[in-house]
Protein backbone atom coordinates (compact mmCIF):
# COMPACT_ATOMS: atom_id res chain seq x y z
CA UNK A 1 0.00 0.00 0.00
CA UNK A 2 1.14 3.56 -0.76
CA UNK A 3 -0.31 6.76 0.64
CA UNK A 4 -0.68 9.33 -2.15
CA UNK A 5 -1.36 12.93 -1.20
CA UNK A 6 -2.47 15.00 -4.17
CA UNK A 7 -2.08 18.76 -3.80
CA UNK A 8 -3.60 21.31 -6.13
CA UNK A 9 -1.04 23.90 -7.21
CA UNK A 10 -1.11 27.41 -5.76
CA UNK A 11 -2.95 30.34 -7.31
CA UNK A 12 -1.94 31.96 -10.59
CA UNK A 13 -3.10 35.25 -12.08
CA UNK A 14 -5.32 33.24 -14.43
CA UNK A 15 -6.95 31.46 -11.45
CA UNK A 16 -7.59 34.86 -9.92
CA UNK A 17 -9.14 36.16 -13.15
CA UNK A 18 -11.20 32.91 -13.51
CA UNK A 19 -9.55 32.14 -16.85
CA UNK A 20 -9.16 28.59 -18.29
CA UNK A 21 -5.48 27.59 -18.02
CA UNK A 22 -5.41 23.99 -19.12
CA UNK A 23 -1.99 23.19 -20.55
CA UNK A 24 -1.03 26.88 -20.83
CA UNK A 25 2.05 27.30 -18.65
CA UNK A 26 1.22 30.08 -16.15
CA UNK A 27 3.45 30.70 -13.06
CA UNK A 28 2.30 31.13 -9.47
CA UNK A 29 1.56 34.59 -8.18
CA UNK A 30 2.49 35.72 -4.62
CA UNK A 31 -0.76 34.27 -3.23
CA UNK A 32 0.05 30.99 -4.99
CA UNK A 33 3.42 30.85 -3.25
CA UNK A 34 1.59 31.37 0.07
CA UNK A 35 -0.86 28.59 -0.94
CA UNK A 36 2.13 26.25 -1.39
CA UNK A 37 3.48 27.13 2.06
CA UNK A 38 0.01 26.61 3.57
CA UNK A 39 -0.22 23.18 1.91
CA UNK A 40 3.23 22.32 3.31
CA UNK A 41 1.99 23.30 6.79
CA UNK A 42 -0.97 20.90 6.37
CA UNK A 43 1.46 18.14 5.40
CA UNK A 44 4.03 18.86 8.12
CA UNK A 45 2.35 16.57 10.66
CA UNK A 46 3.23 13.43 8.71
CA UNK A 47 6.23 11.67 7.23
CA UNK A 48 6.60 11.90 3.47
CA UNK A 49 9.20 10.03 1.46
CA UNK A 50 9.05 11.65 -1.97
CA UNK A 51 7.37 14.40 -3.97
CA UNK A 52 6.37 14.51 -7.62
CA UNK A 53 4.74 17.17 -9.79
CA UNK A 54 3.20 17.94 -13.11
CA UNK A 55 5.83 19.58 -15.32
CA UNK A 56 3.69 22.74 -15.72
CA UNK A 57 5.46 25.58 -13.90
CA UNK A 58 2.61 26.32 -11.46
CA UNK A 59 2.64 22.74 -10.16
CA UNK A 60 6.40 22.33 -10.27
CA UNK A 61 6.94 25.60 -8.36
CA UNK A 62 4.35 24.57 -5.75
CA UNK A 63 6.12 21.22 -5.33
CA UNK A 64 9.54 22.91 -4.95
CA UNK A 65 8.19 25.13 -2.18
CA UNK A 66 6.61 22.16 -0.40
CA UNK A 67 9.80 20.11 -0.79
CA UNK A 68 11.88 22.95 0.70
CA UNK A 69 9.45 23.41 3.60
CA UNK A 70 9.37 19.67 4.40
CA UNK A 71 13.05 18.91 3.75
CA UNK A 72 12.36 16.60 0.79
CA UNK A 73 14.52 16.05 -2.28
CA UNK A 74 13.63 17.99 -5.44
CA UNK A 75 10.35 16.90 -6.99
CA UNK A 76 10.32 14.41 -9.82
CA UNK A 77 8.34 15.49 -12.86
CA UNK A 78 5.49 13.31 -14.12
CA UNK A 79 4.15 14.45 -17.52
CA UNK A 80 0.89 12.49 -17.18
CA UNK A 81 -0.08 14.51 -14.08
CA UNK A 82 -0.39 17.70 -16.19
CA UNK A 83 -3.67 19.57 -16.46
CA UNK A 84 -6.30 18.74 -19.04
CA UNK A 85 -5.78 20.40 -22.39
CA UNK A 86 -8.81 22.57 -23.13
CA UNK A 87 -7.86 23.17 -26.78
CA UNK A 88 -9.65 26.23 -28.13
CA UNK A 89 -11.14 26.81 -24.65
CA UNK A 90 -7.80 27.78 -23.13
CA UNK A 91 -7.39 31.41 -22.17
CA UNK A 92 -11.08 32.30 -22.07
CA UNK A 93 -12.97 33.25 -18.92
CA UNK A 94 -14.74 30.42 -17.09
CA UNK A 95 -18.13 32.11 -17.47
CA UNK A 96 -17.58 32.45 -21.23
CA UNK A 97 -16.39 28.82 -21.45
CA UNK A 98 -19.52 27.56 -19.69
CA UNK A 99 -21.77 29.79 -21.82
CA UNK A 100 -20.12 28.58 -25.02
CA UNK A 101 -19.58 24.89 -24.23
CA UNK A 102 -22.22 24.14 -21.58
CA UNK A 103 -20.24 22.32 -18.89
CA UNK A 104 -16.87 20.81 -17.95
CA UNK A 105 -17.65 17.58 -19.79
CA UNK A 106 -17.65 19.43 -23.10
CA UNK A 107 -14.73 18.88 -25.44
CA UNK A 108 -13.89 22.06 -27.34
CA UNK A 109 -11.90 21.50 -30.55
CA UNK A 110 -8.42 20.27 -29.70
CA UNK A 111 -9.30 19.44 -26.08
CA UNK A 112 -8.82 16.31 -24.03
CA UNK A 113 -11.75 14.38 -22.55
CA UNK A 114 -12.17 14.05 -18.79
CA UNK A 115 -12.04 10.27 -19.22
CA UNK A 116 -8.69 10.63 -21.00
CA UNK A 117 -7.34 12.81 -18.19
CA UNK A 118 -8.43 10.26 -15.60
CA UNK A 119 -6.95 7.34 -17.53
CA UNK A 120 -3.51 8.91 -17.90
CA UNK A 121 -3.49 10.17 -14.28
CA UNK A 122 -4.43 6.71 -12.95
CA UNK A 123 -1.60 5.19 -14.96
CA UNK A 124 0.86 7.76 -13.60
CA UNK A 125 -0.28 7.23 -10.00
CA UNK A 126 -0.05 3.47 -10.42
CA UNK A 127 3.53 3.86 -11.65
CA UNK A 128 4.42 6.17 -8.73
CA UNK A 129 2.84 3.78 -6.21
CA UNK A 130 4.55 0.73 -7.75
CA UNK A 131 7.92 2.49 -7.56
CA UNK A 132 7.22 3.48 -3.93
CA UNK A 133 6.32 -0.11 -3.01
CA UNK A 134 9.59 -1.37 -4.51
CA UNK A 135 11.56 1.17 -2.45
CA UNK A 136 9.85 0.60 0.86
CA UNK A 137 8.29 -2.88 0.98
CA UNK A 138 6.84 -3.98 3.35
CA UNK A 139 6.40 -0.54 5.00
CA UNK A 140 3.84 1.87 3.47
CA UNK A 141 5.41 4.86 1.79
CA UNK A 142 3.86 8.32 1.70
CA UNK A 143 4.22 10.29 -1.52
CA UNK A 144 3.08 13.84 -2.38
CA UNK A 145 1.96 14.59 -5.95
CA UNK A 146 1.34 18.22 -6.94
CA UNK A 147 -1.09 18.47 -9.81
CA UNK A 148 -4.13 20.40 -11.09
CA UNK A 149 -7.79 20.89 -10.34
CA UNK A 150 -9.00 19.08 -13.45
CA UNK A 151 -6.82 16.06 -12.72
CA UNK A 152 -7.94 15.88 -9.08
CA UNK A 153 -11.58 16.32 -10.09
CA UNK A 154 -11.34 13.46 -12.59
CA UNK A 155 -9.80 11.18 -9.95
CA UNK A 156 -12.36 12.12 -7.28
CA UNK A 157 -15.11 11.40 -9.79
CA UNK A 158 -13.54 8.04 -10.62
CA UNK A 159 -13.04 6.79 -7.06
CA UNK A 160 -16.50 7.95 -5.93
CA UNK A 161 -18.36 6.42 -8.90
CA UNK A 162 -19.46 9.88 -9.99
CA UNK A 163 -20.65 11.31 -6.66
CA UNK A 164 -17.66 13.60 -6.02
CA UNK A 165 -16.94 16.37 -6.36
CA UNK A 166 -20.52 17.54 -5.80
CA UNK A 167 -22.04 20.23 -8.01
CA UNK A 168 -20.59 23.57 -6.92
CA UNK A 169 -17.69 22.05 -4.95
CA UNK A 170 -14.56 24.15 -5.36
CA UNK A 171 -11.13 22.54 -5.21
CA UNK A 172 -9.16 25.38 -3.68
CA UNK A 173 -5.60 26.16 -4.68
CA UNK A 174 -3.31 24.37 -2.23
CA UNK A 175 -6.00 21.87 -1.21
CA UNK A 176 -4.86 18.41 -0.09
CA UNK A 177 -6.49 15.11 -1.10
CA UNK A 178 -5.27 11.89 0.51
CA UNK A 179 -5.62 8.55 -1.24
CA UNK A 180 -4.53 5.00 -0.53
CA UNK A 181 -3.17 3.07 -3.48
CA UNK A 182 -2.71 -0.67 -3.73
CA UNK A 183 -2.32 -2.70 -6.93
CA UNK A 184 -5.24 -1.76 -9.19
CA UNK A 185 -7.11 0.17 -6.46
CA UNK A 186 -7.23 3.86 -5.54
CA UNK A 187 -9.31 4.87 -2.50
CA UNK A 188 -10.04 8.39 -1.20
CA UNK A 189 -9.20 8.90 2.47
CA UNK A 190 -9.89 12.64 2.91
CA UNK A 191 -9.85 16.09 1.28
CA UNK A 192 -8.66 19.18 3.16
CA UNK A 193 -8.81 22.81 2.01
CA UNK A 194 -5.63 24.79 2.61
Q: Which sequence positions are flagged as catalytic?
A: 9, 83
β-sheet bridge partners, residue 181: 2, 186
DSSP label at residue 188: E
β-sheet bridge partners, residue 5: 144, 178
Q: Nearest to residue 106, comparing CAs of 126, 121, 84? A: 84
Cβ atoms within 10 Å, residue 70: 16
Q: Strands 50-53 and 141-147, how do they pair?
A: parallel
Q: Helix, strand, or coil here: 170?
A: coil
Report the run of H or E that residue 7 belongs to, with start and end.
strand 2-8
What's the CA gap between 170 and 172, in Å, rounded? Answer: 6
Amino acid sequence: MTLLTLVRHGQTDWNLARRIQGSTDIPLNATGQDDARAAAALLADGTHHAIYASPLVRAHETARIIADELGLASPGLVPDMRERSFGEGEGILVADYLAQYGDWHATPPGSETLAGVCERALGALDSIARHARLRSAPVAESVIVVTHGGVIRSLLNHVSSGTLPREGDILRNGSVHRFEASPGVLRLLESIAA
